[in-house]
Amino acid sequence: MRLAIPLLALAALAASAALRSVAHAENNEKCIKLVCYCNGLGSPSTEAPCSSNCYDVCGSSGGSSTTGQPRPARVSRVYLGLTAAQGFSASYANGTSQQGSTQFGSQIEFVFGRPVLGLGLFFDVARDAGTSPDSNPPDPMWLLDFGVGLVVSPFSIKRGRRSVRPELGIYGMDLFRLGCDRCDTELPLGQQQPAEPKEAFMWRLRAGVDLYLWNTQGIALDVLFQFGKLGDASDPLSSAELRPPRLLFRLSWIPVRDR
């Protein structure tokens, strides 16, 4: 009898551990079925295939979480991309205008949240062929920008382990010029002179499609629409008004995604 009590306790612990492992068996190869408790462990359970996860199951049914506890923010997907565009256009105070030839760069973007709706955070580094206010050769521009926005992906088309997912995004971004020799406004004795702009806040829209050709990886093709400008022709201290390329194209590898 004294031996039966410890054995019953061990059996209860083992059953409890097995129940927890089923409820959280999203990545368990031994999973038979996934049991989700959307409104806490005392609520009715919902069964789902092991290939899904409780977060999506409970989200689609209106539940608060998989276990009644807040779910921390997670990375839904990551984009490692290359960008290309025509180049900046410039209007100078002396009346001349020029159009840059090319712009190439790289970008990394993180999307936090769910696949359907998430928060995007990106960083860009790019080299623009640049322009010149006179007959001298154009000076290349090095650009650094970062932004945050909302990413929406309302549906996906699946066929086996492959899927296609269209995406739309809207971002606010800060753009900086690095190593700009014509951006210095300072003169001796605290005076200022007209100079080219070196920072601006702009908007960016993204429309594209994600192609998941493998189980957890894929590629993405996007068109980025940019709105805004650097400098103002009506500002006496601005010697140029620079406009980014309206269309920017991005080809990305998706090394990580949340299924």
Structural domain boundaries in the chain: 4-60, 75-257
pTM above 0.85, yes or no: no
pLDDT in tens, 222-248: 999 999 999 887 788 888 899 999 999
pLDDT in tens, 90-128: 988 888 888 999 999 999 999 999 888 999 999 999 999
pLDDT in tens, 3-34: 444 444 544 444 444 334 333 433 444 567 77
The b/e string for 35-63 (b: 16+ C-beta within 10 A; e otherwise) is bbbbbeeeeeebebebeebbbbbbbeeeb
Architecture of domain 75-257: Beta Barrel (2.40)
Residue reference for tokens 């990394």: 108
Give the residue from 190, 171, 183 showing the smallest Cα distance to 79: 171
244: helix, strand or coil: coil
- Specify the range with the lowest mean pLDDT, choosing from 54-68, 155-169, 228-242: 54-68
The CA distances from residue 73 to 119, 179, 216, 223, 250, in Å, are 10, 36, 19, 27, 26
pLDDT in tens, 184-205: 777 776 677 788 888 999 999 9
